[in-house]
Structure 1
Amino acid sequence: MAWCFRDIRRHMCMLMRQNFAKSCEKKLNDQINMELKASHQYLAMAYHFDRSDISSPGMHRFFLKASAEEREHAEKIMTYMNKRGGLIILSSVPQPLPCFANSLDALKHAMKMELEVNKHLLDLHALAGKEADPNLCDFIEANFLQEQVDGQKILADYISQLEKAQSQVGEFLFDKYMGSGMHPAK
């Protein structure tokens, strides 16, 4: 009986589904899982920099905020999937890298992750265009594309500044600089 009720509920969800290709649904599920993976990695990075032997509160705050933003992205996509009648499929989140030699290595890893996420979003947008799904195109444009570009610029600036510092004192000063807000919140 429980299976029957669940099938009826799923059927009702499918009734509202319009112009939402299975390929887009699959790609959105991939994006959700990619965002959750990034959130998990950023959370691990945040608490790496919070350790007493590392003690980098600026980096801790930066990566903690990044983790929350990635989780919010995943939640936003899941809400969208439900509105479109899609089925959310969460996969297991891989174990994050445990630690980094220094702030520069962590920021470079963050940039690599952001470029990967951005490429996937661009591929998703292209697929939505190919599948003639203007609603999905609009959703991606309105909620993600500019934010990705802005985030990549911030990371590139931080990486550039840290590469110029190249010393323990430089890293300490950079962390203090991050705390004061090279890129103040909007």
Structure 2
Amino acid sequence: MAWCFRNIRRHMGMLVRQNFAKSCEKKLNEQINMELKACHQYLAMAYHFDRSDISSPGLHGFFLKASAEEREHAEKIMTYMNKRGGLIVLSSVPEPLPCFPSSLAALKHALKMELEVNQHLLDLHALAGKESDPNLCDFIEANFLQEQVDGQKILADYISQLERAQNDVGEYLFDKYMGTGMHPANRIP
């Protein structure tokens, strides 16, 4: 009996499904899982830099904020999937890298992750175009693409600044000013 009601409820959810290809649904599920993987990795990075032997409060705050944003992205996509009548499939999140030899290595890893997430979004957008799904194209454009480009630029700027620091005092000052919003995109107006 319970099985019957579940199938009826699932069928009712499918009533809202229109012009939503299974290939797009699958790619959106992959994107959700990529966002959750990035959330998990950023959380591990944040608390690596919060350790007493590392003590980089600027990087801790930066990566903590990045973790929250990645989770928000996953939740936004899940909400969208439910609106379109899709089925959300969450996979296990791989274990994140536990620590980094330097702030620079962590920022380079973050940029690599963001480039991978962005490429997946671009592939998803191309697939939505191929499947003639203008709603999905609009959702990706309106919610993700520009934010990804902006985030990549901030990380690239931080990497350049930290590469110029080249010593412990420079890294200390980098972290100190990071907490105060040294990048124009992070400053409070």
TM-score computed with the length of structure 2 as normaliser: 0.97
Gaps of 5+ in 2: none
CA RMSD of aligned residues (A): 0.7
- Structure 1 Cα separation of the partners of residues 10 and 137 of structure 2: 25
Percent identity between matched residues is 88
Partner of 1:96: 96
Distance 2:41 2:187 in 1: 22
- Counterpart of 1:166 in structure 2 is 166
User: Residue in 2 aligned with 1:109?
Assistant: 109
Structural mapping, 1:130-145, within 5 Å: 130-145=130-145
Alignment of structure 1 residues 46-125 onto 2, 5 Å: 46-125=46-125
What is the match of residue 40 of structure 1? Answer: 40
Amino acid at match of 1:100: F
Deviation at 1:111, TM superposition (A): 0.2
Give the ranges of 4+ consecutive aligned residues of structure 1 lying more than 2 Å apart after TM superposition: 183-186
Match for 1:101: what amino acid? P
Please report how far the alpha carbon of residue 126 of structure 1 lies from its aligned counterpart in structure 2 after TM superposition: 0.1
Shift of 1:87: 0.1
In structure 1, how many angstroms separate the alpha carbons of the residues matched to 2:100 and 2:163?
16
CA distance in 1, matches of 2:104, 2:178: 13
Unaligned segments of structure 1, at least 5 residues: none
1:185 deviation in Å?
4.7
Number of residue-to-residue matches in the alignment: 186
Offset, 1:177: 1.2
Return the letter of the residue paired with 1:31. Answer: Q
